[in-house]
Amino acid sequence: MKISIILGTRPEIIKLSPIIRECEKLSLDYFIIHSGQHYTFNIDEVFFEQLKLPMPKYNLKVGSGTHAEQTAKILLGIEKVLQKEGPNIVLVEGDTNTVLASALAASKLGIKIGHVEAGLRSYDRQMPEEINRILTDHCSDLLFAPTEKSRKILIHEGIQENKIFVTGNTIVDAIYQNYKKIKEKSRTIDCPGISKNNYFLATVHRQENVDNKEKFRGIIRGLNLIAAKFGLQIIYPIHPRSLKQMKLFNIEKNNLHLIEPLDYFSFLELEKNARLILTDSGGVQEEACILKVPCVTLRNNTERPETLEAGSNILAGTNPHNILLRTEYMLKKSREWINPFGDGNAGERIINIVQKNDESRF
């Protein structure tokens, strides 16, 4: 069996790293395609270096563009590579334009698709990611659901039960595999005056937030209210596009400490040592839960409801006063919740399933 692993963004590199490691360990016939959806060093290449992953065999370097432009470029590039290589199965992870384009290309060519982190739903069709994950799930042959809740969502949507496998989430594997390395090697971050548990960490990058002046302004005001209330720094590793929108909307950062996007190890260390995390990222909601750090989600919905049920996370929306109130609430909570995303062996399970479900099964 020949496996194609396709990725294009920082979260995909991280969450597919345990699967790549498993392929390496078993000496499987596989290759990596990188779409180039993320293409700066700090958001991309450094992750391969730090995680000690083999560099992709192919890099399409599609770069930025509208959703249609980016998806179309990836679709064209992926199709050519898949026709040349002829893999038996394509593995994709998550909900990006890379994931949708890869699934469409493979489906049209009659190549089987395995979707890692299947069955997540925010039920908000205004999110481009929601459309991507729904369409990918419904054209996949193997669906690797991270939790029982996501398995039930897929069944409710009419997907055959024998295609769905609850594996846990590979983000747990990635944290367990890499956090030891961080503890062994002290790292310094350019944030003067911070120490463990005396700062807040913020990430805001989603299109529905940073492209909306009212929402983005509300979030930044909320963060500034928190900084003023608690007298602590709020560290915000800001994506270039978010910084561009902040300048476009003339939003003042005031008490926020803006820094460049970080490599994986440095960001993981910042997460682990934060008093609380404020984010609109799904992956950061998961990481906060696993690392036992309270989280406030700057959205009105989440495709990670398990974090709400566990008690590690709360929804705040983009109203500044709600953001402050939810932060005060989460700071009073105990950190003794149970991680709902698995035991750190999801990558091994996924490759096991792929091997068992070979051409005879398909």
Residues acting as catalytic residues: 205
Distance CA 53, CA 349 (A): 19
Contact 154, 145 (CB under 8 A): yes
How far are the Cα atoms of 15, 112, 204, 359 from residue 214, in angstroms, in the given order?
Answer: 32, 43, 14, 52
DSSP E strands, 232-311:
233-237, 256-259, 276-279, 295-297
Q: Cα–Cα–Cα angle for 291, 297, 298, nearest 5°?
A: 145
Give whole-number Cα distances, 138 to 102, 121, 131, 141, 154, in Å. 13, 13, 11, 8, 9
Which residues have C-beta within 8 Å of that of residue 204, sequence separation ≥ 6? 210, 216, 219, 236, 238, 242, 279, 280, 298
Q: How far apart are CA 189 and CA 18, in angstroms?
A: 26
- Residue keyed to tokens 């994506």: 239
Amino acid at residue number 43: I
Nearest in space to 200 (alpha carbons), one of 296, 104, 122, 98: 296
| Strands in the chain per DSSP E | 2-7, 29-34, 58-59, 89-93, 112-116, 142-145, 164-166, 199-203, 233-237, 256-259, 276-279, 295-297, 313-315
